[in-house]
Amino acid sequence: MNKAELINAIAAEAVLSKVDAKKALDAVVKSVSNALVAGDKVSLVGFGTFSVGERAARPGINPATKQPITIAAKKVAKFKAGAELSASIN
């Protein structure tokens, strides 16, 4: 499902116009993004938790030159599915 299909699904499920559904989706995505940038967790009970994790620096290989390199440490966005979401998938 892409963003346009998700907007259509939200509009149908919540009986909203597509414009309002797009505004709602954009607001949710922006709010979650802002919370993660600030280092906060976003927990949606039954759905899951968005958080920021740390990935340590690690060795790697440059595929062009085959020389060893060090891949820098970085922060990554993580999602852990909630119990209800996991149960509905299985």
Kindly report, residue by residue over 35-81, the tens digit of the pLDDT: 999 999 999 999 999 999 999 999 999 999 999 999 999 999 999 99
Mean pLDDT along residues 6-16 = 95
- The 8-class DSSP code of residue 6 comes to H
90 pLDDT band, cuts 50/70/90, is confident
- Alpha helices, H only, the chain: 3-14, 18-37, 83-89
- Other C-beta atoms closer than 10 Å to the C-beta of 28 total 13
* Joined tokens for residue 13: 């499920």
What pTM did the predictor assign?
0.80
pLDDT at 63: 94
pLDDT at 65: 94
